[in-house]
Amino acid sequence: MTQAMDWQGGVGRAWAEEWQRTDRTFAQLTPALLATIAAMPGHRVLDIGCGAGELALSLATARPKGAVCGIDLSADLIAAAQQRGAGRANVRFAIADASQWQDPAFTPDLLVSRHGVMFFADPPAAFAHLAAVAAPGARLVFSCFRAPAENAWASAMAGLVPPPAQPADPRSPGPFAFADPDHVRAMLAGWTDLVFTPHDFDYLAGEGPDAADQALALFRRIGPAASALRQAAEADRAGIEQRLREVIAAHTRDGKVTFSAAAWIVTATKA
């Protein structure tokens, strides 16, 4: 599973270089997340695990009199976000670990994240810290994946390599660490009034006449297939890639490569 240190290295670099494709995969989730955030008060917004900045930039546009700060572990992703946000007066980006971040000149009253909170090494400590640096009554809104079985972009890739002898703890840091609401409730130290709203969407991996090639280029660098290819012996990679092509073909309809995806949109209030 992807962990925090991976985002500081090759994983973060790949996401930064592929931000247009990764933003597209979330194209049916982001509007729902933004709609939930729009109903929340707040003028000092902290975007946790901001990636290449799409959410933060959208919020800066929606709240022109507010201030938005996006933080991420990856220097490459922050560089991409800064480039996209150049010239915007009310948004800034910084390399930072959310579990330790603080800025005495910026006390957030709204904390948001699009799939950026599942990688904390110690989630209760991280969320307790974020509550401590947030303003009284601050709101928290984030999205996270539900179970792997509900996310075909992941489950369809499961057969690319043999399963590990010792399966990883599904609650360990990674894309699906927050799939179980009861687990999330236990992790959100310092936050109350949690609400979990399910949101199903199409994970769009490619579209147009070269949709399959777009999807292949994405999955070579992002997600379970990319991990399988990185870890495989050189002699096995051609076979893995062929099986990946077959998965992509099975999910191609009407010029689009789509996979079912399932997320939670979670809201909470500082206790």
Residue 83 is part of a domain; what is its CATH number? 3.40.50.150
Does position 170 have pLDDT exceeding 90, yes or no?
A: no
Does position 46 have pLDDT exceeding 70, yes or no?
A: yes
pLDDT for residue 12: 79
35 falls within a domain: yes
pLDDT for residue 162: 62
Percentage of the chain surpassing pLDDT 70? 93
210 falls within a domain: no
Range of the domain at 128: 4-149+166-204+262-270
Write out pLDDT tens, residues 212-256: 999 999 999 888 888 888 888 888 889 999 999 999 999 999 999
pLDDT for residue 106: 97
Does position 59 have pLDDT exceeding 60, yes or no?
A: yes
Amino acid 19 reads W
219 falls within a domain: no
Average pLDDT over residues 140-158: 94
* Token pair belonging to 130: 């974020």
Amino acid 161 reads V
* Token pair belonging to 182: 């009861």
Domain total of the chain: 1
pLDDT for residue 222: 87
Question: Is-contact 118 180, C-beta < 8 A?
Answer: no
251 falls within a domain: no
226 falls within a domain: no
Q: What are phi and psi of 147, to 5 degrees?
A: -65, 150
pLDDT for residue 47: 98
170 falls within a domain: yes
Average pLDDT, the chain: 92
Hey, CA dihedral for 18, 20, 21, 23, is it positive or negative?
A: positive
pLDDT for residue 161: 65
128 falls within a domain: yes
Q: What is the pTM of this model?
A: 0.93
Name which of 6, 109, 104 is nearest 49 in CA terms: 6
Write out pLDDT tens, residues 75-93: 999 999 999 999 999 999 9
Q: List, as one string, the DSSP characters of the chain.
A: ---HHHHTTHHHHHHHHTHHHHHHHTTTTHHHHHHHHHTS--SEEEEET-TTSHHHHHHHHH-TTSEEEEEES-HHHHHHHHHHTTT-TTEEEEE--TTT---TT---SEEEEES-STT-SSHHHHHHHHHHHSPTT-EEEEEEE--GGG-HHHHTTGGGSPPPSSPPPTTSSSTTTT--HHHHHHH-TTEEEEEEEEEEEEEEEEESTTHHHHHHHHHHHSSHHHHHHHHS-HHHHHHHHHHHHHHHHHTEETTEEEEEEEEEEEEEEE-
Does position 19 have pLDDT exceeding 80, yes or no?
A: yes
142 falls within a domain: yes
Name which of 81, 88, 27 is nearest 62 in CA terms: 88
Average pLDDT over residues 181-207: 97
Write out pLDDT tens, residues 258-270: 999 999 999 999 9
